[in-house]
Amino acid sequence: MSASVDLFSRIQSLKTPESGNADGLAVETIVKAIIAAVRTEGDAAVRRYAAEFDKIEMEAFEVTQEERAQALADLDPQTRADTEFAIANVRAFAEAQLATILPLEVEPLPGLHLGHRVIPIRRVGCYVPGGRYPLLSAPVMTIVPAKVAGCAEVIACLPPGAHPAMIAGCHLAGADRIFRIGGAQAIAAMAYGTETIPAVDKIVGPGNAFVNEAKRQVFGPVGIDQLAGPSEIYVVADATGDAEMIATDLLAQAEHDVRTRVGLITTDRSLGEAVIAEVERQLLDLPTASVAGEAWRRMGEVVFCTDEADMIAYSDHIAAEHLQVHTLDPRAFALRLSNYGSLFIGTAASVVYSDKCCGTNHTLPTMGAGRYTGGLWVGSYVKICTHQWLEPAGVAAVAPAAIRQSASEGLEGHRRAAALRPARQQFER
């Protein structure tokens, strides 16, 4: 990133509980205690935390088949149709992705056979956040790819006070079992199991600071998808950018959370100034302005770059969760970008379409993680596990080097194991 990048309008972010301050340490301490209690006390601890945090006295955690049916019956018909539309698109894209993940068998040397298998993770846990609004796309994004991948069992956990439509969403997406458990206690229950909730092999899905911290703490015995921070959207635009459209897209994402990071990276200073003015104009009548406006004031930035190379460099430095490309030739420009969660090429590609129903997954890396990973996808639910088998010619080819290496490392047990095969002259497939 060169000195020609000029942050000519930037509102510095304030510290939040997730920062490395006292509040962040408090979250870590609270979560550690919750995990320990759930691990040792099981359902009793989960029940106690439901009363303490959710203000709900829970007798049974699992949603019954009758309750599923009732939630489905109560779902608005158009909402159901829209949810099924999203499910169909996410499933179709996940199936297409899975078709690219193939088993492998090669013979790099005569008699040396190497390969890998694509094995679905046996049981996964999908955390479905409650939030201020019933986000029906959330269970679609975590549950549908798991079913496409072939996971034997998919567990869904959602807060006890979640909108009933969320139960219907989990059911339509294909959850095998649904539990009314939220927060860090849900992560602990899925990680270690209780009398009621089975332990899973991997946990996926976004949540609040407590959920995120719980995922961090249980990682190891159980897998996780990623540690997700607040949402992000950036737009890279040249002089062809439309200020009204860019401002609208920034505010659409900003209404998620006051910590949402929003930004424009542009080579046209006048466009940047127009977007700033347009954001302020739209906030005047946006119903969610209390959230979106706070996000803009705390986390918004408009960055001026003198040329496309610097614009690309700054974008790759940010590695935004959602990255929109509004340039004269967006498809060509997109090929020059490397770091992002998901790319939205051209003005017709809105983040909202992906958030809801177009087929790509909306669970994406944040906080710069796009520099080293992509988002949740069907490949997150399978393991690529290698294997090998050798014929006599293969043993003859690899044994001498293995014997010499073991000896030079002083590992006599290794050397003996490597030397035993060629000495036997008989091999099993």
CATH number at residue 292: 3.40.50.1980
Residues 56 and 188 in one domain: yes
Here the tokens at position 54 are: 């959710």
| Other C-beta atoms lying within 10 Å of the C-beta of residue 85 | 13
Beta pairing class for 232-237 and 322-326? parallel
pTM recorded for the entire structure:
0.90
- Is residue 220 included in any domain, yes or no? yes
Q: d(Cα 362, Cα 375) in Å, to the nearest integer?
A: 8
Judge residue 245's burial from the number of C-beta atoms within 10 Å of its C-beta, 0-12 exposed, 13-18 middle, 19 or more buried. middle
| Sequence-distant (≥ 6) Cβ neighbours of residue 238 within 8 angstroms | 266, 267, 268, 271, 308, 311, 326, 327, 328
State which H helix or E strand residue 34 sits in.
helix 22-41
| Other C-beta atoms lying within 10 Å of the C-beta of residue 373 | 12
- Is residue 16 included in any domain, yes or no? no
- Is residue 429 included in any domain, yes or no? no
At residue 426, the 3 state secondary structure works out as coil
At residue 127, the 3 state secondary structure works out as strand
Ranges of the chain with pLDDT below 70:
1-22, 131-133, 425-429
Residues 68 and 209 in one domain: yes
Q: Which of 184, 199, 224 is the last residue of a domain?
A: 224
Residues 181 and 321 in one domain: no
Can you give the pLDDT at residue 69? Answer: 97
Q: Which of 180, 198, 224 is the last residue of a domain?
A: 224
State which H helix or E strand residue 88 sits in.
helix 77-98
Contact 177, 156 (CB under 8 A): yes
Can you give the pLDDT at residue 131? Answer: 66
Residues 69 and 213 in one domain: yes
Q: At CA 375, angle to CA 371 and CA 381, rounded to 5? A: 130
Residue in this structure with the two tokens 């608005």, named with its chain if needed: 76
DSSP secondary structure letter of residue 161: T
State which H helix or E strand residue 264 sits in.
strand 261-266
Can you give the pLDDT at residue 228? Answer: 85
Contact 345, 334 (CB under 8 A): yes
Residues 332 and 398 in one domain: no
321 is catalytic: yes
Judge residue 365's burial from the number of C-beta atoms within 10 Å of its C-beta, 0-12 exposed, 13-18 middle, 19 or more buried. buried
Q: Which of 171, 256, 322, 362 is catalytic?
A: 322
Judge residue 204's burial from the number of C-beta atoms within 10 Å of its C-beta, 0-12 exposed, 13-18 middle, 19 or more buried. buried
Strand partners, 112: 109, 390
Q: d(Cα 299, Cα 250) in Å, to the nearest integer?
A: 11
Can you give the pLDDT at residue 14? Answer: 29
Judge residue 230's burial from the number of C-beta atoms within 10 Å of its C-beta, 0-12 exposed, 13-18 middle, 19 or more buried. buried
Which residues span the domain enclosing 194? 24-101+118-224
Residues 185 and 279 in one domain: no
Residues 29 and 96 in one domain: yes
- Is residue 111 included in any domain, yes or no? no
Q: Per this entry, what is the length of the chain?
A: 429
Strand partners, 154: 124
Can you give the pLDDT at residue 389? Answer: 96
- Is residue 77 included in any domain, yes or no? yes
Q: At CA 134, angle to CA 133 and CA 137, rounded to 5? A: 120
- Is residue 256 included in any domain, yes or no? yes
Q: Which of 224, 255, 270 is the last residue of a domain?
A: 224
Residues 266 and 358 in one domain: yes
Q: How many domains does the chain have?
A: 3
Residues 307 and 419 in one domain: no
Can you give the pLDDT at residue 107? Answer: 98
Q: d(Cα 156, Cα 205) in Å, to the nearest integer?
A: 10
Can you give the pLDDT at residue 23? Answer: 73
DSSP secondary structure letter of residue 3: T
Can you give the pLDDT at residue 6? Answer: 60
- Is residue 178 included in any domain, yes or no? yes
Distances, alpha carbon 74 to alpha carbons 61, 82, 84, 173, in Å: 21, 15, 15, 17
Can you give the pLDDT at residue 5? Answer: 54
Residue in this structure with the two tokens 């796309």, named with its chain if needed: 137
DSSP secondary structure letter of residue 222: B
Residues 32 and 126 in one domain: yes
Residues 291 and 205 in one domain: no
Contact 302, 276 (CB under 8 A): yes
- Is residue 62 included in any domain, yes or no? yes
Can you give the pLDDT at residue 130? Answer: 80
Residue in this structure with the two tokens 């095998």, named with its chain if needed: 176
CA atoms within 13 A on the CB side of 336: 16
Residues 33 and 64 in one domain: yes
Q: Which of 18, 321, 326, 362 is catalytic?
A: 321
